[in-house]
Amino acid sequence: MDDYTVLKVIGEGSFGRALLVQQKSSNQLFAIKEIRLPKSLSDTQNSRKEAVLLAKMKHPNIVAFKESFEAEGHLHIVMEYCDGGDLMQKIKQQRGKLFPEDMILNWFTQMCLGVNHIHKKRVLHRDIKSKNVFLTQNGKVKLGDFGSARLLSNPMAFACTYVGTPYYVPPEIWENLPYNNKSDIWSLGCILYELCTLKHPFQANSWKSLILKICQGSVRPLPSHYSYELQYLVKQMFKRNPSQRPSATTLLSRGSLARLVQKCLPPEIITEYGEQILDETKICKQNTPRKNGMCTSHSILL
């Protein structure tokens, strides 16, 4: 910790704290997530997973990992600092004023790119929510908080261990079925809905009625000035059956998102992902009928 000067606390949770720090040697700003290490060895190894998984990710739409170290009973994860705060704060700041559609589509495309990256590496985030999406002042969106993320090796193991935020938890989890990549897609759908309405798609006064609403999967339509494309995206991502939900690759290969991919990504990443997404677009064009310009196929990648 000697290499960094703590400037302020930017987040606090059950894990410990998130700090804004300045590296002494370079004057560069970073965020450090300070996690209290549990007493038992197995729990400690579990905490370390967050750093291990984040370190594996390298993408403009995933918060960049710098280093991690342990000191004074804490695990410190040093990562890039996102100076625009988190998406939940941003939504609150709107005070009811709806976001323009092009902004929603731009942010959503960036989130899909981030999710596509982790799914390609067989990592499930398992806690996708607006509070875990970080923003920068120059309009970049980054998926953060890999505290619940797991490598997809034994999916059944996730059925009992999942601890997400109830609003974003998909029907299959309430039904005790395994968490899979499409569960992340459901949660991503919740964020898209929040961006369009500034409200959670599923809200209730009790757990029982919240779970019931989620399992029914029906939501109030988006404000009518938003396009059919947005309405359609939300509908597809809230399919009860996970296999009917589009994958991140499929989402990125369609309509406005496909066009935005070219704008969002630096050239080297386009080269990396271009083929995957282009292939998907080709399959999409060849095999499926179109409805109002939208392809209705579903990817089976991952």
Residues at the site binding ligand ADP, with contacts judged by CB under 6 A: 10-11, 13, 15, 18, 31, 33, 63, 79, 81-82, 85-86, 131-132, 134, 144-145, 147
Residue 99 contact partner, candidates Mg ion, ligand ADP, none, CB within 5 to 8 A by sort of partner: none
Known catalytic residue: 184?
A: no
CA quadruple 255, 248, 189, 212: dihedral sign: positive
Separation in Å, CA 148 to CA 83, 113, 165, 287 = 23, 19, 11, 37
Q: How far is the CB of 196 from ligand ADP (least distance, A)?
A: 21
Return the residues of window 9-38 that contact Mg ion according to CB under 5 A. Answer: none
Q: Give the integer Cα–Cα distance in Å for 297 and 148.
A: 30
Minimum CB separation of residue 286 from ligand ADP in Å reads 41
Q: Decide: is 109 part of the binding site for Mg ion (CB under 5 A).
A: no
For Mg ion, which is the closer residue by CB, 68 or 132? 132
The smaller minimum CB distance to ligand ADP, of residues 10 and 173, is found at 10
Is residue 280 within the footprint of Mg ion (CB under 5 A)?
no
Kindly tell me which of 11 and 60 has the beta carbon lying closer to ligand ADP: 11
Q: At what angle do helices 101-120 and 228-237 cross, to 10 degrees?
A: 30
Beta carbon nearer to ligand ADP, 13 or 223:
13
Of residues 2, 83, 127, 145, which has the active-site annotation? 127
Question: How far, in whole angstroms, is CA 64 from its chain's centroid?
Answer: 14
Structure-token pair, residue 246: 């589009």
Task: Answer yes or no whether residue 299 interacts with Mg ion by CB under 5 A.
Answer: no
Which of ligand ADP, Mg ion, none binds 82 (CB below 5-8 Å, type-dependent)? ligand ADP
Q: How far apart are the first and last CA of the chain?
A: 39
Q: Which helix or strand (DSSP H or E) is residue 32 part of?
A: strand 29-36
The full length of the chain comes to 302
Contact 268, 293 (CB under 8 A): no
DSSP category for residue 300: -
Of 118 and 277, the one with the shorter C-beta distance to Mg ion is: 118
Q: What are 18's two structure tokens?
A: 């998130």
Residue 145 binds to Mg ion (criterion: CB under 5 A): yes
Q: How far is the CB of 131 from Mg ion (least distance, A)?
A: 5
Give the annotated binding-site residues. 33
Report the distance separating Cα 121 and Cα 170, nearest Å: 22
In the set 116, 132, 256, 299, which binds Mg ion (CB under 5 A)?
A: 132
Are 15 and 147 in contact by the 8 Å Cβ rule? The answer is yes
Residue with tokens 């309430």: 174
Contact 249, 299 (CB under 8 A): yes
Q: Which stretch binds Mg ion (CB under 5 A): 137-145, 160-168, 175-183, 226-234?
A: 137-145
Q: Which residue has its beta carbon closest to Mg ion?
A: 145
Q: Is 184 in the site for Mg ion (CB under 5 A)?
A: no
Active-site annotation, residues:
127
Interface with Mg ion (CB under 5 A): 132, 145
